[in-house]
Structure 1
């Protein structure tokens, strides 16, 4: 773990395949804590692939986050960054997102890490409500994964 990491870790009472499916295929359903919404959540899950998220706030805020996928280990790990846009175009970096999924008995250990370049960026992200926001997102992700699992999906 880096000194500039913020981490959310949850044990989810649903199999890892369902959490992976929820994360990779149902982003708009879990990506933002209310009252924000994410109508566009797209990941080209291969190294060098595009990541794109559009978030809409309750007062009409419209935020687009683009980046690049750095690493994918099917069912286990996804790493993205906003330091580059598609085509390796440099951008002002804020973080690297590392999302990990591991078997935990009949459930899943889910870990989401936001790795920042500087202590200032880490502090800014923490002040923005990282722990509450990413914690709520993890709850929403688990709920979507449970629906998928119970509905006969993953």
Structure 2
């Protein structure tokens, strides 16, 4: 798809640990350091709200909100910022898709996909640092998942 950005990681942790890291420890991995994420609301179900604030080291704040469209624990999460939780249109930027695949050997294939409405939005997200930013977040997710798997 031409309006899509995607990254993939094989994480050296079982899918249950990766899912737990993703769903319960977002504040530890969602933002590339030194930024941090504050999870305000996370209703992991179709139609559930997602609200968070990304905070920068110099006091920057970037609020993000949207809804979950599909949630299959340990397999798939689809979310968008195109509508609010009460179904009002909200100037869409993307649909986010997170996929988790159990590789059967204690490792998990993780994919994070950003699908944009326009090529300009995709190009802007890429120029903003998609690969570096989402890559760092995925690496932080892997760190958390490996820690949880070792507990």
TM interval, shorter chain, is over 0.9
* Counterparts of residues 26-41 of structure 1 (less than 5 Å): 26-40=25-39
Per the alignment, in what secondary structure is the counterpart of residue 99 of structure 2?
strand
What displacement does 1:50 show?
A: 0.2
- Where structure 2 has 5 or more consecutive residues not aligned to the other structure, the ranges are none
Kindly state the Cα deviation for residue 58 of structure 1 after the two structures are TM-superposed: 1.6
Task: Report the CA distance between 1:86 and its aligned residue.
Answer: 1.2
Q: Which residue of structure 1 aligns with residue 131 of structure 2? A: 131
Q: Which residue of 2 aligns with 1:116?
A: 116
1:44 aligned partner: 43
Give a deviation string over 1:59-78, Cα, whole Å, max 9, x none: 21111100010001121000
Contact 1:49 1:68 survives alignment (8 Å): yes
Q: TM-score under structure 2 normalisation?
A: 0.96
TM-score by length of 1: 0.94
How far did residue 41 of structure 1 move? Answer: 5.5
Residue 41 and residue 136 in structure 1: after superposition, are their counterparts in 2 closer, same or farther (change >3 A)?
Answer: farther
Q: What SS class does the counterpart of residue 58 from structure 2 fall into?
A: coil
The question of 1:147 aligning with 2:147 is answered: yes
- Post-superposition offset of 1:34: 1.3
Segments of structure 1 that go 5 or more residues without pairing to the other structure are: none
Q: Which residue pairs with 1:101 in the alignment? A: 100
Q: Between Structure 1 and Structure 2, how many residues are aligned?
A: 150
- State the match for 2:10 in structure 1: 11
Q: RMSD between aligned alpha carbons?
A: 0.9
> 1:62 corresponds to which residue?
61
